[in-house]
Amino acid sequence: MEISAKYNPSDIENKWYQHWLSQKYFRSVPDERPAYTIVIPPPNVTGVLHMGHMLNNTIQDVLIRKARKQGFNACWVPGTDHASIATEAKVVKLLAEQGIPKSSLTREEFLKHAFEWKEKYGGIILQQLQKLGASCDWDRTRFTMEPSLYEAVVDVFIDLYRKGLIYRGTKMVNWDPAGQTTLSDEEVIFKETTDQLYYVIYKGVDFDGELMVATARPETIAGDVAVCVNPNDERYQSLIGKKVRVPLINREVAIIADEYIDIEFGTGVLKVTPAHDINDYNIGQKYNLPVIDTLNADGTISTAGELFVGEDRFVARKQWVKSLKEVGLLSKQENYIHNVGYSERTDAVVEPRISTQWFMNMQDFMKKNPEVLSSVMNDEMKFYPAKLKNTYRHWMENVKDWNISRQLWWGHRIPAWYTNNGEWVVAKTAQEAAAEFEQKGVSVNAGDLSQDSDVLDTWFSSWLWPISVFDGIGANADKTELGYYYPTNDLVTGPDILFFWVARMIMAGYEFEGKMPFKNVYFTGLIRDKQRRKMSKSLGNSPDALELIEKYGADSVRMGLLLCSPAGNDILFDETQIEQGRNFCNKIWNAFRLIQGWETHENEPTAAANQAKAFMESRLNDTLKDIEQLFQEFRLSDALMAIYKLIWDDFCAVYLEAIKPPYGEGISAQTQREAQEILQLLMSLLHPYMPFISEEIVQLLTNGMSETLVLSAYPTAHENTGGESSQESLQLVTEIRNTRNTRGLSPKESLNIWIPKSATGILHMQDFVEKLANVTVHQDETTKPSNGMPVIVGVHEIWVELSVEIDIDKEREELQKEKIYYDGFIASVKKKLENERFVQNAKPEIVEVERKKLSDASEKLSIIEKRLSQLS
């Protein structure tokens, strides 16, 4: 069969993915094997594939593919999140473009439009993940608002309400004027903002004089109900209890005193506006002050604001400033840098707003479930990187009640039911609610009850994700699958949703299942460009994910992303990394073509080929052991680099060069078969990272007779008996090549070298060395040719005869440099070994490694000093 001269990913990726799907290789059902489970962080139903998705899901795919090959019943559950705020905004915008305002629709009519939109666009991102090679069990695809998951959320709300962990109350909340809904504290993003600080004059009513108040929000002055000073501030002590007039409004308000007031800030006088500031609200509660809400839900001035009614709050701010200046009540203004809260979804400036909402009592929840914190802090559940444990602990120890209600239509509707006079109960249906009212002595027809119009926070559904995807919520739930797949193994997500999602899933896990939802959490970093800027469409620095796959192939994109993605650290993306992935694909393809293109004969393999095989087996074993350790530490980028070096350096640059026949000659058929078998092993090792090219090559090597790499056994390490021989022989080849380069000798010129008989490992690989280094080996420790020079390999001094005269001064200079290095190295190792704490506390094998370093370095130094003595 003719092999394409060039690797064309577009030709093979769709072919193999469709084959894997048709054969149901990704399907998982409970059986006798141990489960390995990952639940996908459900992307928003509004989403399209971006760089962050590609990184996150590639990591998940690497983990799931490796586990599947290692014999686990690997289950990767995909799905999407209904994303209340984002989706409702999309649908409202779409309807507006059609001339249909949301206000003209009933709730049911709006939801019909929303579900139609979801069916048309909601699965796009999952289809795009298939282009990346994601090996999800697509038959298990879930959606947070599908009927069974919807019911689970309602059941959980009712359960927590009955446990006293959910309550309805009036508080100051975060209000998003653009989305016209409340937000939890975690949904408010604080940004450093430069505003103006205005110094406004409040005239005295019952005293001659005035007070100066510094405020950044003059548009809320109409909501002032008092001014407040610190009782210890001597400037104002005589005025406490007197009154001032609210500027432009002329309302008389009292001067009150509270130690909360910062004497040093502004003028030391605070205008108290309980409707628009949490601290003012607390003061208002303390002193029983009225509340005047000057803003409408959309951020415009309300009728209670009296002036500039209907104007946007920021427009009104300018008008207030202008009017204050005109009547001489604005003393001055200056720049003011402070943190301002913005909506995480709409980027609108968040308003504090007093509102009746539903809350979850987080303090009581944590008292009931202390394992939520302890399991992470004691590493029962591990975070990678571990530094995020402290961030998690700080949040958990300072957690505030969770505002779980949202003023939207798209979402899980709150199961609370109201009578016409405002009485309410929590129940699943109107009929159950009517029965609840009956128990309270209230007679009411189910048809006369109205359900709460609010929906639940999106995160109130996704916190159940590891349980709900296996239909494990509810007293009557069939928990067969949950018992098999839960707790899941690994979660891959971003640190930006540690509190939104990860912490809350841990809470749900312990509350509803009494155990953690996952064993490990791997936090990816944030992808930035080369200038360390966050990727965004507005900056034009975010490449189109699908275009990258189209241009380079999925394997190249996967490799390029993973090579630069240590856990938890930001990733500096450069398209050259993807090019490196493409170059690697080409390297592998060319190696495959080289092997397949050799003419063969039935002669026995050469000694060099046999030794090269031993070298490759040794390197494969060492790398397999390294990779297992790296995977345990979630150093997936380092594991990929180890595979990359094994293939590029050891297989291509060393092994294939060692077995390659002279030009025009054939190769032993057995050697070719061995090379093919090694390449198959390497492709199996590479498969979790680069599934497409690896499958293509293995099937071509075996004429389609091999088991798919999706299911075939992952390579395992064996006892390595020739590791040191292989390492020393390759080091010798490298030293000889370096000597040629520094002396200007042609690689085609054969050299004589003398190896001492004590170097048994190197002599065992003699033919391998002769082939790769183009040398003739002599076993002799006494010969030191006058035109020769020594190279040091391990603890052995090996002499190389040169065809050029040796520059003794230059060699002495090089040896002096090496002596300085080894003197310093030996001193540092000795210092470590003389440290009793290190010797007592370090693992014995680590101490032994340090002692071996000292011994080897001392022998090398002895050889260097001996050679320096000879040159003298």
Res. 567 pLDDT band, cuts 50 70 90: low
Res. 805 pLDDT band, cuts 50 70 90: low
Res. 139 pLDDT band, cuts 50 70 90: very high
Could you tell me how many residues make up the chain?
A: 872
Examine the pLDDT at 566 and tell me if it is beyond 80.
Answer: no
Average pLDDT of the residues of the chain: 91
Examine the pLDDT at 2 and tell me if it is beyond 80.
Answer: no
Crossing angle (nearest 10°) for helices 808-833 and 844-871: 150
Strand partners, 797: 792
Q: What's the token pair of residue 675?
A: 């090379």
DSSP string for residues in 404-424: -EES-SSS-B--EEE-TTS-E
Q: What's the token pair of residue 159?
A: 């359960």
User: Three-state SS for 383?
Assistant: strand
Least confident of 258-262, 336-340, 366-370, 820-824: 820-824
What span, in angstroms and rounded, lies between the C-alpha atoms of 519 and 109? 43
pLDDT at residue number 814:
80
Strand partners, 418: 424, 450
pLDDT at residue number 405:
95
pLDDT at residue number 176:
93
What span, in angstroms and rounded, lies between the C-alpha atoms of 386 and 522? 10
Most confident of 88-92, 514-518, 565-569, 731-735: 514-518
Is residue 40 a contact partner of residue 138, using CB atoms and an 8 Å limit?
A: no
336: phi then psi, degrees, rounded to nearest 5? -140, 115
Residue 790: cis peptide before it, omega within 30 degrees of 0: no
Is residue 740 a contact partner of residue 800, using CB atoms and an 8 Å limit?
A: no
Cα separations (Å) of 520 from 322, 487, 517, 630, 836?
58, 10, 9, 14, 35
Examine the pLDDT at 624 and tell me if it is beyond 80.
Answer: yes
Q: What is the pLDDT of residues 256-283, one digit of tens each?
A: 999 999 998 889 999 999 999 989 999 9
Average pLDDT over residues 8-17: 93
Is residue 465 a contact partner of residue 42, using CB atoms and an 8 Å limit?
A: yes
Percentage of the residues of the chain whose pLDDT score is greater than 70:
98
Is residue 781 a contact partner of residue 798, using CB atoms and an 8 Å limit?
A: no
What span, in angstroms and rounded, lies between the C-alpha atoms of 295 and 304? 8
Cα separations (Å) of 113 from 48, 98, 655, 813?
20, 12, 62, 81
Query: Of 249, 235, 237, which is closest to residue 202 (Cα–Cα)?
Result: 249
Query: Of 709, 760, 765, 696, which is closest to residue 733 (Cα–Cα)?
Result: 765
Would you give the DSSP letter of residue 537? T
* Lookup result for tokens 């200056």: 334
DSSP string for residues in 257-306: E-TTS-TTSTTSEEEE-TTS-HHHHHHHHHTT------B-TTSBBPGGG-
**How far apart are the two ends of the chain, measured CA to CA in Å?**
64
Is residue 473 a contact partner of residue 21, using CB atoms and an 8 Å limit?
A: no
pLDDT at residue number 250:
93
What span, in angstroms and rounded, lies between the C-alpha atoms of 404 and 416? 13
**Predicted model pTM:** 0.86
Query: Of 656, 647, 658, which is closest to residue 693 (Cα–Cα)?
Result: 647
Count the neighbouring beta carbons within 10 Å of the beta carbon of residue 203. Answer: 16
What span, in angstroms and rounded, lies between the C-alpha atoms of 77 and 466? 9
Q: What's the token pair of residue 531?
A: 């200038």
Examine the pLDDT at 721 and tell me if it is beyond 70.
Answer: no
- Which residues, 6+ apart, have CB-to-CB distance to 18 below 8 Å? none
Spacing of C-alpha 411 from chain mean position: 26
Q: What is the pLDDT of residues 532-563, one digit of tens each?
A: 777 765 667 778 888 999 999 999 999 999 98
pLDDT at residue number 425:
96
Q: What's the token pair of residue 248?
A: 């432009």
Examine the pLDDT at 201 and tell me if it is beyond 90.
Answer: yes
Q: What is the pLDDT of residues 693-704, one digit of tens each?
A: 999 999 999 999
List the 188-203 sheet strands across, edge first.
210-215, 188-203, 330-343
pLDDT at residue number 615:
93
Res. 804 pLDDT band, cuts 50 70 90: low
